[in-house]
Amino acid sequence: MIGKICGTGSCVPKGLWDNQKLMELVDTSDEWVRERTGVARRHIAENGETTASLAAEAALTALQNGGIRAEQVDLIITATVSPGDLMPNVSCQVQKKIGALNATCFDLNAACTGFLFALNTAQAYLARGIYQTALVIGAEILSDLTNWKDRSTCILFGDGAGAVVLRAGETGKYAQVTYSTGEKGNVLTCACRNQKRYAAGADAPETYMQMDGREVFRFAVSRVPEAIEELLKKEEMHIEQIAYFILHQANERIVRSVVKRLGANPDKFPMNMEEYGNTSSASIPILLNELNRKGMLRRGEYIVLSGFGAGLSYGASLMEW
């Protein structure tokens, strides 16, 4: 059995911060941010918006797009590093909000690779016939974890959620390669806001995202092409056979470097970080939903999804749309 995507959805907060807004917080400029990241705007949660509320709205739009009723869903997996509440998990909150009473629910944390790992996990359950219909969500409110005084990181991140609905079927294609490199995990960190652990309290520097940007860049531009090439070789396919490569939207320079290393057509690598920034687990499904709503994804074509992030972790998945 193969899980085929039958619906996509997304949701972003109403609050919008452009680069001029960041100029009020740190020493930067619109030109400087755009040149280094490709980001012009990011959505920021306000007025009670939570990771779970964004996730639920994205899930509902995905169900509507796929013509699936909430009670048909028997598995919900949410990828997130910013759940807001440790208990109950985001997936259980989504279940309650959308009325998916028959679903088993759990969250998964693999940072920016999270949606890809969650998708692989759902595929494994569907392949064994354990579940038939799955909601896979990537949802983040990274603004809660961002140090808005740190110019090197605050220019990058935004909030949002994306979701897909998978239905098990006997036809189609799905393959994946994934890796983790734990010995390099110290280049991208965020400590738990535990009062007993940090005498300085919840605002200790360690409790905000900290990143060695240069090392993360080197990691991404080398490992992502390796994973994609390994995947295509394993499946005996060529780059020309892939309609789109949907990469984690971390940085425009990273995506362009991957394109160059693969020797691929840049038109096959859509980007939207200009409008959203890096939304971690949410970036791939948000972009996937945009492409789907624009009618750019056609049944029978092949797409490759690739994520990379904290852990460090990375991978790529091949899917017949």
**What positions carry a catalytic annotation?**
112, 248, 278
- The letter for the amino acid at 10 is S
**Nearest-angstrom CA–CA distance, 5 and 8:** 8
Q: How far is CA 249 from the centre of its chain?
A: 8
Nearest Cα to Cα of residue 11 among 100, 87, 78: 78
Nearest Cα to Cα of residue 131 among 165, 90, 175: 165
Other beta carbons within 10 angstroms of residue 305's beta carbon come to 24
Nearest Cα to Cα of residue 277 among 301, 313, 244, 252: 252
**Nearest-angstrom CA–CA distance, 215 and 79:** 24
The answer for residues whose C-beta is within 8 angstroms of residue 178's C-beta and 6 or more apart is 113, 116, 117, 120, 227, 313, 314, 315, 316
Token digits of residue 41:
């705007």
Pairing of strands 302-309, 242-247: parallel
**Nearest-angstrom CA–CA distance, 168 and 133:** 6
Could you tell me if 203 and 191 are in contact, meaning their C-beta atoms sit under 8 angstroms apart? no
The radius of gyration computed from the CA coordinates of the chain, to the nearest angstrom, equals 19
Token digits of residue 302:
């092949």
